A and B are shown apart, each in its own frame.
Chain A
Amino acid sequence: MALEWIFKTEQRTKDPYGAPGTGKSTLISIVTIVSILGAWWLVTELQLIRALFLPAPGLVFSKFLKIACVDHYLERFLVFIGSRTEVVAECEGFSENALHQHILASLYRVFSSFFLAVVTAIPIGIAMGVNRIARGVFDPPIEFYRPIPPLAYLPLTIIWFGIGDFSKIFLIYLACFAPLAISARAGVRSCSVEQIHAAYSMGASRNQVLWHVVLKAALPEILTGMRIAIAFGWTTLVAAEMVAAKAGLGVMVLNAARFLATDIVFLGIVVIGLIAFFFDALMRQVEGLLVPWKGKA
């Protein structure tokens, strides 16, 4: 029944006998987002659910203003341009840090891990794709640790590397490493044998084939791997910040949960989601610039 309904709505598109599921969905997505926000507002407005479980959107927004110290920084700005003489509003923040400090701490951890993973995992993945020995060496450890949840080896990283930033970065690094290595490994398989033969018949050396053909052809998959890897990084962030972190979005959410400050938990989740979303949108733009041929040839 449900399937029948899905098929019927599909047939209303401009191309009734084409491949199913084509056409734009942006407008529908906007409707979805507005509906979710509207339902959230309505449910809290009618007090159907207690604020402890579901804080009102307005409440979350006012918490955002407070933790981000908007008043404080606005006054400082006014003093700076000379239309005010002193700063009255204090910056309280949450867990001794303002929102931007939490964000910066987390950005630093996620992106330094991501960067380290990119410069190590991509070369290793490429080596695995083009070299039998490298594949034999790296395949077992990667395939072994890949499905293990980061929370399971978090205690081990703390025993080994202590409770400083290094073990946090290491944990996120491991989360980013596997998808990058696997996509780079798969990517080097994406060139056709004709492309390789063509290069050789134009006088290419092995290294030139590797550089000018194999790596270029691997680029689309490597970029997809980067998008997957950074998402893994964000999902591991809260786990990484569970132990002995002062600032960070993960710490903020965990501490808020401890005090049942559900509004701040919501705020933290939304901020993480938005940062990840906008970075992914940026990566898609980069894909469009670097690999415009993706899916076309």
Chain B
Amino acid sequence: MSAVMSLNDVGMIFSDPSGGGNVTALEQINLDFEAEEFVVALGASGCGKTTLLNVMAGFLPPTSGTIALHGHPITGPGRDRGVVFQKHALFPWLNVLENTAFGLKLQGVGVRKRNEIAKENLGLVGLSEFGNHPIYQLSGGMQQRVGLARALTTNPEILLMDEPLGALDAFTRENMQELILQVWQRTKKIVFFITHSVEEALFMATRLIVMSPRPGRITHEYRLDFCQRYFELGNARKIKSDPDFIRIREEVLSIIYGEEIEG
């Protein structure tokens, strides 16, 4: 299968304006995304995972290398790559439905048509009843669901999720993991998901990439199927307490802690 999105030798160097030398945020990133993949990037803070997402989204032009979507090079942000942020990304002057329909409004889609599509997506994240609510009345978890519905509404090729569950409490977070997997299963979008929770990464990913800092690079890669097992069993807790799961969790943790000690 040919890659939908591919990164070739992507590097990112930030020059320090105060003259303290350059910081290599990303070095030689090679990554291919194939259809229906759920790729999770895991790493300690400062390993360049958010920079990587910003480069893929087109917010930051890389200092070296190329990124292509279906063979076409990426030069800036676009609606073929939907982004879900950790927080502060919704528009409080719009209600839930208007937030969700925003991308279609930009394209000039008529109000009836765009509300219809937005309602479908709100249904996908379980917020059908909340279209008319102002977003500042929603809980953090519900706001993230609106963010997901909104990113899906422009029908992107790939969903880029920048620690979308990082600001949520542990219980909401586990529910949201399952919700995101269900949405992924139904929409078949490629997902690139950033987290620094090992358990979350293992549970959700079909492919896990472990990144390490200074310079930011990919050190390990795993093919995983815990999310498939979740779809079969429907019990997240059972999968997370499975011996296989715990073994890989400890392995990945020792990689990350090992690097911390080296660094």
In the complex, the answer to whether B92 meets A297 with C-beta atoms within 8 Å is yes
Could you list 9 further interchain pairs (A-B, Cβ under 8 angstroms) beyond the known A199-B102, A200-B59, A212-B102? A195-B90, A198-B83, A200-B76, A202-B79, A203-B107, A205-B106, A216-B91, A293-B92, A293-B134
In the complex, the answer to whether B79 meets A216 with C-beta atoms within 8 Å is no
Among B57, B85, B153, residue most surrounded by chain A Cβ atoms (within 10 Å):
B85
| Chain B min CB distance to A205 (Å) | 8
In the complex, the answer to whether B106 meets A208 with C-beta atoms within 8 Å is yes
Identify which of B79, B102, B103, B134 contacts A292 (C-beta below 8 A). B134
Identify which of B57, B88, B103, B136 contacts A195 (C-beta below 8 A). B88
B144 on the A face (CB < 8 A): no
Nearest CB to that of A215 among chain B residues? B93
Known pairs A201-B57, A297-B135; A195 contacts B91 (CB<8 A): yes
Known pairs A293-B134, A296-B136; A203 contacts B154 (CB<8 A): yes
**What would 28 A/B residue contacts be, using CB atoms closer than 8 Å?**
A192-B88, A194-B89, A197-B77, A198-B83, A198-B89, A198-B90, A198-B147, A198-B150, A199-B102, A200-B59, A201-B79, A202-B79, A202-B106, A202-B151, A202-B154, A203-B79, A203-B103, A203-B106, A204-B106, A205-B106, A212-B105, A213-B91, A216-B91, A216-B93, A292-B134, A293-B136, A296-B92, A297-B135
Contact with A along B75-115 (1 / 0, CB 8 A): 01111011101111111110000000011011100000000
A91 on the B face (CB < 8 A): no
A163 on the B face (CB < 8 A): no
Count chain B residues whose beta carbon lies closer than 8 angstroms to a beta carbon of A: 33
Size bracket, chain A contacts: 20 to 34
For window 103-157 of chain B, which residues contact chain A by CB distance below 8 Å? Answer: 103, 105-107, 134-136, 147, 150-151, 153-154
Identify which of B79, B85, B106, B136 contacts A194 (C-beta below 8 A). B85
Among B58, B59, B83, B92, residue most surrounded by chain A Cβ atoms (within 10 Å):
B92
Residues on A lying within 8 angstroms of B by beta carbon are 192, 194-195, 197-205, 208, 212-213, 216-217, 219, 291-293, 296-297
| Chain B min CB distance to A296 (Å) | 4
Among A199, A201, A204, residue most surrounded by chain B Cβ atoms (within 10 Å):
A201
Nearest CB to that of A297 among chain B residues? B92
Q: Complex: how many Å from CA A203 to CA B76? A: 10
Nearest CB to that of B79 among chain A residues? A203
With a cutoff of 8 Å between Cβ atoms, the chain A residues found around residue B86 in the complex are 194
| Chain B min CB distance to A2 (Å) | 39
| Chain B min CB distance to A196 (Å) | 9
Known pairs A202-B103, A204-B106; A197 contacts B83 (CB<8 A): yes
Q: Complex: how many Å from CA A197 to CA B147? A: 13
With a cutoff of 8 Å between Cβ atoms, the chain A residues found around residue B105 in the complex are 212
In the complex, the answer to whether B136 meets A201 with C-beta atoms within 8 Å is no
Nearest CB to that of B137 among chain A residues? A296
In the complex, the answer to whether A219 meets B77 with C-beta atoms within 8 Å is no
With a cutoff of 8 Å between Cβ atoms, the chain A residues found around residue B102 in the complex are 199, 202, 212
With a cutoff of 8 Å between Cβ atoms, the chain B residues found around residue A297 in the complex are 90, 92, 135-136
Q: Complex: how many Å from CA A247 to CA B154? A: 60
Nearest CB to that of A291 among chain B residues? B93
| Chain B min CB distance to A287 (Å) | 13
Q: Complex: how many Å from CA A198 to CA B76? A: 13
In the complex, the answer to whether B78 meets A192 with C-beta atoms within 8 Å is no
Q: Complex: how many Å from CA A292 to CA B81? A: 31
| Chain B min CB distance to A286 (Å) | 15
In the complex, the answer to whether A219 meets B82 with C-beta atoms within 8 Å is no
Q: Complex: how many Å from CA A292 to CA B134? A: 9
Q: Complex: how many Å from CA A292 to CA B87? A: 20
In the complex, the answer to whether B93 meets A197 with C-beta atoms within 8 Å is no
In the complex, the answer to whether A197 meets B154 with C-beta atoms within 8 Å is no
Identify which of B77, B91, B93, B134 contacts A201 (C-beta below 8 A). B77
In the complex, the answer to whether B85 meets A198 with C-beta atoms within 8 Å is yes
With a cutoff of 8 Å between Cβ atoms, the chain A residues found around residue B58 in the complex are 200-201
In the complex, the answer to whether A219 meets B93 with C-beta atoms within 8 Å is yes
With a cutoff of 8 Å between Cβ atoms, the chain A residues found around residue B88 in the complex are 192, 194-195
With a cutoff of 8 Å between Cβ atoms, the chain B residues found around residue A200 in the complex are 58-59, 76-77
| Chain B min CB distance to A81 (Å) | 49
| Chain B min CB distance to A250 (Å) | 39
Contact with A along B52-66 (1 / 0, CB 8 A): 000001110000000
With a cutoff of 8 Å between Cβ atoms, the chain B residues found around residue A208 in the complex are 106
Nearest CB to that of A293 among chain B residues? B92
Among A204, A208, A216, residue most surrounded by chain B Cβ atoms (within 10 Å):
A204
In the complex, the answer to whether A202 meets B57 with C-beta atoms within 8 Å is no
In the complex, the answer to whether A195 meets B89 with C-beta atoms within 8 Å is yes
| Chain A min CB distance to B141 (Å) | 16
With a cutoff of 8 Å between Cβ atoms, the chain A residues found around residue B136 in the complex are 293, 296-297
Known pairs A216-B93, A293-B134; A201 contacts B106 (CB<8 A): no
Q: Complex: how many Å from CA A212 to CA B91? A: 9
With a cutoff of 8 Å between Cβ atoms, the chain B residues found around residue A198 in the complex are 83, 85, 89-90, 147, 150
With a cutoff of 8 Å between Cβ atoms, the chain B residues found around residue A216 in the complex are 91, 93
With a cutoff of 8 Å between Cβ atoms, the chain A residues found around residue B151 in the complex are 201-202
